[in-house]
Amino acid sequence: MAEVTTDTDVVRAMGARDEDALLELHRRYAPYLTAVARRMLNNPDDVQQCVQDTFVKAWEHAARFDPAKASAKTWLVTICHRHAINRIRGQTLQTLPLQDWDAPARAEDPTDRLYLERALATLEPGERDLIELAFYQGFSHSQVAQETGKPLGTVKSRLRGALDKLRAALGGGEA
């Protein structure tokens, strides 16, 4: 892989089928994605498979990555989150075996956890409950509506509002 420094450059190199770029992206984000998957999935094998599936999907679709829509980290987390939800729903996904990806994961960065906990504390209790159901328990919007007894449109708009507040609290833009 040529000298690349930004995540966007790494994903673009992956889109050009640079395997070193894939390894670099894995080095940068596998521990983080493992933490994301671990929050949603109980089985360590499911967590590992979810992270593996995420990188396979990223490899397959790297050429379509658009940094104007999301950062590479957000793109990867979205893929990981969707795979975790599919695992929760019992759907199996076709993946390629990646035997060389058994590197030990680093511990979760406690600073990230602290920032997230502080941001979640800025939400109203009902907003936190919606975030918990949708993102940590993997419920679809329809399932959240059914679980809470709220109309689907209300769930969607309140989730969007809660996510905007989290983004602002984490310094990612105005709410």
Q: List the domain range (segments joined by +) for residue 124.
A: 110-169
Token pair of 10, please?
């790494």
Each residue of 27-46: pLDDT tens digit?
Answer: 999 999 999 999 888 889 99
Structural contact between residues 44 and 119, judged by C-beta atoms closer than 8 angstroms: no
CATH of residue 131: 1.10.10.10
Distance CA 66, CA 49 (A): 25
CA 162/CA 175 separation, integer angstroms: 9
Domain of 77: which CATH number?
A: 1.10.1740.10
Neighbours of 173 (CB within 10 A): 8
Q: Are residues 31 and 62 in the same domain?
A: yes
Which tokens go with 47? 């967590």
104 assigned to some structural domain: no
Q: CB burial class (10 A; 0-12, 13-18, 19+) of residue 142?
A: exposed
pLDDT tens column, 73-124? 999 999 999 898 888 877 444 443 444 334 444 455 667 777 878 888 889 9
Domain-terminating residue out of 54, 88, 122: 88
What per-residue confidence (pLDDT) applies to 88?
81
Q: Tell whether 17 and 63 lie within a shared domain.
A: yes
Average pLDDT score over residue span 62-69? 89
Name the amino acid, one letter, at 112. D
Say how many domains are in the chain. 2
